[in-house]
Structure 1
Amino acid sequence: MAHYRSLGTIPPKRHTQFRYDGDTLAFEELMGEEGFSADSSLLYHRHIPSAITDSTVWELPDTATVPNHPMKPRHLRLHELFKDDAWQDTDVVTGRRLVLGNGDVRISYAVSGRASPLYRNGVGDECVYVESGAARVETVFGVLNARAGDYVVIPRATTHRWIPQGDEPLRTYCMEANSHIAPPKRYLSRYGQLLEHAPYCERDLHGPTELVEGTGTDVEVLVKHRGAGGEIVGTRFLQAHHPFDVIGWDGCLYPYTFNIEDFEPITGRVHQPPPVHQVFEGDNFVICNFVPRKVDYHPLAVPVPYYHSNVDSDEVMFYVGGDYEARKGSGIGQGSVSLHPGGHSHGPQPGAYERSIGAEFFDELAVMVDTFRPLEIGEGGRACDDGAYAWSWAGRRA
């Protein structure tokens, strides 16, 4: 995200001596993408950031997936995954349950009530959507305050932790990439500024507001990284000093939040295709959101989507608010996920096509992920599959 920010105290020129507290030399760290060829930031630490005193295995939660075969569309009820008060002893990181995934992106869900361990993802960027609740996200770059409706975008290898705030469960929908996550290229100038036709701008992106200082030695940090054969594995590092020891930083790479309420919908006289709803992209997948909006105003418009075959992609829709018109009669509600696999023609439920004629406004809120490789089903997805959604277009629920 080529939008420059700085926080704390930094020297006037990069890669030069920086002394603080009189004459103490700070340790400069470059965090950058694509080697030294893309966005980066420089962080100034009190201690050597590479210093570790131990390394042991972190056994990850169940990351196995099974193919969606025989192929069928599915309805997953995510709110069934964390029942009763189990969420009170769960955190955003270790409590994730894998719903869907492939070699490009993994989608997990967690309901949390306690602070997470210190953690960094060494595989790819994370985009975490806050369905409800609030959190203080402490990072090596500083503090993010996350609220319902926020996307929290965390660059690869950013050490951070989630601390739920308030009494309400923190519900999070996590999209973990094997790549970087950024605004769509078509919204950006050749130098990285968001253009006038983009549905949001830099004013809507909120970076860290204050540095956070941690103390202690032999501090545990959970690291997710690539293993042999490309599988994802975990390691527990003991850092010689707490990683939250940054005096200041500057650059164009850092975590930030973007709230779904700040997305300005693009509408037209006839139904607009899903790319107008796009908010982010990674390698081989995109993230879109459907927000409350005025709908098609041609006198003969049919406001709900036309039936379409996802020949090149799987479509995953997470329903987070409002009343999703096209899915009425399917059993889908808030907290549901629909999976429409490539090769299956899908669209509105029976009756929705006709009922939408004459509508002027849709009050719906949903987060969509489209992938360009088939998605497989994780442990969490298998546990909350309703088993009947595939037959709903034929008027059957069993």
Structure 2
Amino acid sequence: MPITNFNHPDPYKYQTGFDSYHETEAVDGALPIGQNSPQKAPYGLYTEKLSGTAFTAPRHENKQTWVYRILPAAAHENFTAEDADSYHTSMTIETHKLHHIPNQLRWNPFDLDEKVDWVHGLHLIAGSGDPTQKQGLGILMYAAGKDMDKEAFYSADGDFLIVPQHGVLDIQTELGRILLRPNEICVIPRGVRYRVTLPDGPVRGYICELYQGHYQLPELGPIGSNCLANARDFQAPIAAFDDEEESEYKLFAKFNNNLFTARQNHTPFDVVAWHGNYYPFKYDLGRFNVIGSISFDHPDPSIFTVLTAPSDHLGTAVADFVIFPPRWLVAEGTFRPPWYHRNTMSEFMGLISGDYDAKIGGGFKPAGASLHNVMSAHGPDSGAFEGASNAELKPQKVGDGSMAFMFESTHMVGVSEWGLKTCQKVQPEYNEHSWKPLKRHFVNPSKKKLKVEF
């Protein structure tokens, strides 16, 4: 069965479908019928609209959700800036400026951190663009070991695509609850408030924050109407609320990659009902229907795209989320690993579990990462090249127990000070270890020694 066998059961119920218009109520009759904003909403609730696009965005792109809640989200004190040394998401302070370098980079596995919660466990590794202009993306690691207290967090900068590598996240959002485990992904849209607790101990993983647009399914073209990630396999939460009177909460806001806090005297998780198409969702990567060559050659890795965020240029992405799941290789007369490559796109890779078949030298490990920036040459390491060049070309299953992924972007990404230096995880020998051992195999026929007869 093409689903992941998770060790931690999921106690929550979901609605299914990608980009579907959902409606859900935790109390029967909490949704108004036939209108969005009645003079008096049912049960004395407040009506609030959450807009993910401009009002006048084309209908097929328009994102909005109507919520019916106990108190409006606006009911809080003023925000104040947090101490810049208490968080690690900024790319705008001079000491945290991004470093744009052409070197191939690889990181050893990032450490777990049991001392911090979700908010303070976010670390910007790389990024490009400007959230104030809604352009570009940010790439983060997270590592946490503590539950958030009576707190909530949201990002005004973009949509979080969360890729867990270790541990379980119990995510209480305004719109309902999501349990997130390794080999699942979750997208939390810009502005949605949530709280993260850790039911199974410390957690670690990756995030691609999209400043520009929203994630969508890739076009399938001649593939047809199914395959890759199918719309029916995405899960959205059902309405669930806390009824807490006079309960003080702390609200964190990530705004232009800086952290602000405000106090409020009521729970943020008081949405009794909602309807719309702007909501968090999750997806089991084990359900991805892989496409590949059944004749010869290695197709472009775009065939492994789970979600994409288009740029203004057709066919070019601000961010593609691509996975390399277990699959069969059967191509005849073909070098089966990915080919050597120089790309106009930047490629950030991570490893959730197992090994990656194009890197067999041992330096690319779960919870580690690599970055091959715009036109930075990369490809199989020397061991993978020699092995694949001389392998018997029988049908081969690769990737069992493994899941590698890639955030690919049209943007040239810069590396943060934390990602380049502070984390102390960059492998200085990456290039030398991977590609310097490659041997020359070319024999120039014009330089063959001629036999001279006397």
Q: Which TM-score applies when normalising by structure 2?
A: 0.77
| Larger radius of gyration between Structure 1 and Structure 2 | 2
Among 201, 213, 229, the residue aligned to 2:242: 213
The one-letter code of the counterpart of 2:306 is V
Q: Residue 10 of structure 1: which of 31, 46, 68 is its match?
A: 31
| Residue 51, structure 1, aligned to residue 81, structure 2 | no
SS at match of 2:431: helix
- Residues 218 and 307, structure 2, Cα contact 8 Å, conserved in 1: no
Residue from 126, 135, 159 that aligns with 2:193: 159
Match of 2:165 in 1: 131
Q: 1:272 is matched with which residue?
A: 299
Equivalents in 2 of 1:126, 1:214: separation in Å? 27
User: 1:18 and 1:325, CA in 2 relative to 1: closer, same or farther beyond 3 A?
Assistant: same
Percent identity of paired positions between Structure 1 and Structure 2: 22
**Count of matched residue positions in the alignment of Structure 1 and Structure 2:** 374
Q: How far apart, in 2, do the equivalents of 1:195 and 1:118 lie?
A: 42
For residues 214 and 292 of structure 1, do their structure 2 counterparts lie closer, same or farther at Cα, with a shift above 3 Å needed? farther
- Cα distance in structure 1, aligned partners of 2:184 and 2:408: 19
**Does the 8 A contact of 1:330 with 1:349 survive in 2?**
no
What does the per-residue CA deviation read over 1:326-371, in whole Å, with 9 as the maximum and x for residues that have no partner?
Answer: 1112622222211112222211111313423426121141120112
CA distance in 1, matches of 2:215, 2:76: 31
For residues 311-340 of structure 1, the C-alpha deviation after alignment (integer angstroms, 9 at most, x for no partner) is: x21111101222212111262222221111
Aligned residue among 396, 399, 407 for 1:360: 396
Alignment of 1:1-398 (within 5 A): 2-8=19-25, 9-13=30-34, 14-21=36-43, 24=44, 26-36=45-55, 37=57, 38-60=62-84, 61-62=87-88, 63=90, 64-69=96-101, 71-79=102-110, 81-82=111-112, 87-103=113-129, 104-116=136-148, 117-167=151-201, 169-187=202-220, 196-213=225-242, 215=244, 216-226=246-256, 232-268=257-293, 269=295, 270-282=297-309, 283=311, 284-295=318-329, 297-310=330-343, 312-329=344-361, 331-356=363-388, 357=391, 358=393, 360-363=396-399, 364-382=402-420, 383=423, 384-391=425-432, 392-395=434-437
Match of 1:229 in 2: none
Shift of 1:199: 1.1
Q: Is the 8 A contact 2:109 2:365 kept in 1?
A: no
What is the CA-CA distance between 1:4 and the residue it aligns to?
A: 1.6
Contact 2:32 2:42 in 1 (8 A): no
Q: CA deviation digits over 1:255-314, x for unaligned, max 9? A: 01112111111111331211111112234221111101112x23212210111111x211
- Structure-2 change in CA distance of 1:249 and 1:259 (3 Å): same
Q: Give unpaired runs (5+ residues) of structure 1.
A: 189-193, 227-231
CA 34–209 in structure 1, closer or farther in 2 if over 3 Å, else same: closer
Moved more, 335-344 or 213-222: 213-222
2-structure distance, mates of 1:97, 1:235: 16
Q: Specify which structure has the higher proportion of strand.
A: 1
Matched to 2:219, the amino acid is R
Are the aligned partners of 2:99 and 2:417 in contact in 1 as well (CA < 8 Å)?
A: no
SS of aligned partner of 2:306: strand
How far 1:214 sits from its partner (Å)?
A: 5.4
Task: Indicate conservation of the 8 Å contact 2:351/2:369, yes or no.
Answer: yes
Q: Which amino acid aligns with 1:302?
A: F
**Partners of 1:100 and 1:377 within 8 A in 2:** yes
Cα distance in 2 for residues equivalent to 1:18 and 1:266: 52
TM-score normalized with structure 1 length: 0.88
Partner SS, residue 77 of structure 2: strand
Query: Residue 181 of structure 1 contacts residue 280 of structure 1 at CA under 8 Å; is this kept in 2?
Result: no
TM-align CA RMSD: 2.2
* Aligned CA distance change for structure 1 residues 206 and 2 (closer, same or farther; 3 Å): closer
Distance 2:182 2:379 in 1: 28
Output the amino acid matched with 1:52.
H
